Amino acid sequence: MRKMVRSFLTKTLAASLALATAFGAWGLPLNLSLAAEKDAETMQNEISDEIRAFCTNIADAARDRRYLLQKQELEQLQADIEDRIATLEKRRAEYEHWLNLRNEFLVKAEGGLVEIYKNMRADSAAEKLELVDVNVAAAIVMKLKPRLASQILNEMDAETAANLTSIIASAADTNIPDEPS
């Protein structure tokens, strides 16, 4: 009897292993499990194809929308630039107005200053011109008659007179380079 039980158990175990091999882990036949995997792959491919088709269909609309947004942004930037240009033009006009007023005043003042220094004694004029800005002093001396200018320069400190002379000489220099460096 033991032999029979052992033989029965061996046969039952072999049959169980054969069935377990034939059926998948979920109790499905192995062929059905493979078919399900193939269906999942096919379904994944179909989904990918649908996604690709969707993206292809909306690509033109998306491109048009992107171009429209870029166009609107460029128009806004153009409007901002035009506003800035208008503001700069307004400021430039104001600066030109003030510059013209300043230049008119300087011309009047310079003419009056030349007359004042023209009527002063050379030693007194030299003293005063040494205290004034070098460029202003050079401009005044340039507008005086050469005889009076030489007397004033003669009465000045040697260094100040040399500075004025170099400024006057550079103002009269006609060899101006084409490109300033």
For residues 144 and 43, which has the higher predicted lDDT (pLDDT)? 144
Q: Residue 37's pLDDT is what?
A: 64
> Which pTM was predicted?
0.41
- Give tens-digit pLDDT for 9-66: 566 656 665 555 555 444 545 455 555 566 767 777 777 778 787 777 777 888 888 9
Judged on CB neighbours under 10 Å (0-12, 13-18, 19+), 113 is middle
Evaluate whether 93 touches 101 at the Cβ level (below 8 Å): no
pLDDT for position 25: 46
Other CB atoms closer than 10 Å to residue 128's CB: what's the count? 14
Closest Cα to residue 122, out of 93, 94, 153? 153
Q: What is the residue extent of each domain of the chain?
A: 40-103, 120-172
Identify which has the larger pLDDT, 147 or 4.
147
- pLDDT at 143 (0 to 100): 86
Residue 82: the pLDDT is 96
Residue 8: band (very low, low, confident or very high) from pLDDT cuts 50, 70, 90: low
- If you write DSSP's letter for every residue of 102-113 in order, what string do you get? HHHHHHHHHHHH
**Low-confidence winner among 3-12, 19-28, 66-75, 136-145 (lowest mean pLDDT):** 19-28
- Write the pLDDT tens digit of every residue in 78-124: 999 999 999 999 999 999 999 898 888 777 767 788 888 889 999 99
